[in-house]
Amino acid sequence: MTEVTMNVNGRKVTRSVRGNELLVEFLREQLRLTGTHVGCDTSQCGACCVHVNGELVKACTMFAAEADGAEVATIEGQANADGSLNVIQQAFQDYHGLQCGFCTPGMVMSAASLLKDNPKPTEEEIRHHLQGNICRCTGYHNIVRAIMAASGQETPAVAAE
């Protein structure tokens, strides 16, 4: 076992981890941050996307020990300080960008990473960026629109087409 310390959603945590313990296991099992999901075992689905030191990371691709000393952000830390949904989260609700909700935390984390680097992405850029996040419910239509809306770009209202 190795002791690691990291800052998760602004809170310093120190825990013992197994050498082969994945970051996603650490978040879900040790910290009980169960918003980060596991949808595959080949790092394809993106349900476990988090931010490590500001970079988008699939938390199944990294050992917890590798995140020692890191700043980690998960879906649980994304809402505004008053608890209300942040701009991206609110856009996902407004534009019906989620159905079963299982891929959603990864989608929101992935979208946040995109908009940090590219504040006004085109539809094509959004779709390209989301290649690593699989959604089985929405057909991506409303996810793309939600991200367009979150970036302040015009997109038709839901159910008004």
Partner 1 sequence: MPKDHGIGASSKRREDVRFLTGTGNYTDDINVYGQAYVAFVRSDVAHGRIKSVDTAEAAAMPGVLRVFTGSDFEGVGSIPCGWQVTDRHGEPMKEPAHPVLAHGKVRHVGDPIAAVVAETLQEARDAAEAVMADIEELPAVVDMKAAVASSDTLVHDDIGTNLCYDWGFVEDNREAVDKAISEAAHVTTLELVNNRLVANPMEPRVAVGSYEAAGDMSTLYTTSQNPHVIRLLMGAFVLGIPEHKLRVVAPDVGGGFGTKIFHYAEEAFCTFAARALKRPVKWTSTRSEAFMSDAHGRDHVTKIELALDKDHNFTALRTETYANMGAYLSTFAPSVPTWLHGTLMAGNYKTPLIYVNVKAVFTNTVPVDAYRGAGRPEATFQLERVVDKAARELGVDPIELRRKNFITEFPYATPVAVEYDTGDYNATMDKLIEIADLANFETRRKESEGRGKLRGLGINSYIEACGIAPSNLVGQLGARAGLYESATVRVNATGSISVMTGSHSHGQGHETAFPQVVAEMLGIPEDMVEIVHGDTANTPMGMGTYGSRSLAVGGSAMVRATEKIINKAKKIAAHLLEASEADIELKDGAFSVAGTDKSVAWGDVTLAAYVPHNYPLEDIEPGLEETAFYDPSNFTYPSGAYCCEVEVDPDTGKVDVVAFAAADDFGNVVNPMIVEGQVHGGVAQGIGQALLENCAYDETGQLLSASYMDYAMPRADNVPMVTVDHSCQTPCTHNPLGVKGCGEAGAIGSPPAVINAVIDALQSGGHTHVTHIDMPATPNRVWAAMQG
The residues of the shown chain that bind partner 1, judged by CB under 8 A, are 18, 28, 33-42, 44-45, 47, 74-76, 78-79, 85, 89, 92-94, 96, 98-105, 108, 123-124, 126-128, 130-131, 133-144, 158-161
Nearer to partner 1, 69 or 112 (CB): 112
The closest of 154, 24, 1 to 14, measured between CA atoms, is 1
* CB-nearer residue toward partner 1: 44 or 153: 44
User: Which helix (H) or strand (E) covers residue 73, if one does?
Assistant: strand 71-73
- Separation in Å, CA 115 to CA 8, 94, 109: 21, 18, 10
CB of 33 to partner 1, least distance (A): 7
Task: Compute the least distance from the CB of residue 73 to partner 1, in Å.
Answer: 11
Helices (H), the chain: 23-25, 87-94, 104-117, 123-129, 141-150
Q: Which residue lies nearer to partner 1 by CB, 69 or 79? A: 79
136's CB contacts (< 8 A; 6+ apart) are 100, 103
Q: What's the closest the beta carbon of residue 84 comes to partner 1, in angstroms?
A: 10
Task: Give me the least distance between CB of 136 and partner 1, in Å please.
Answer: 5
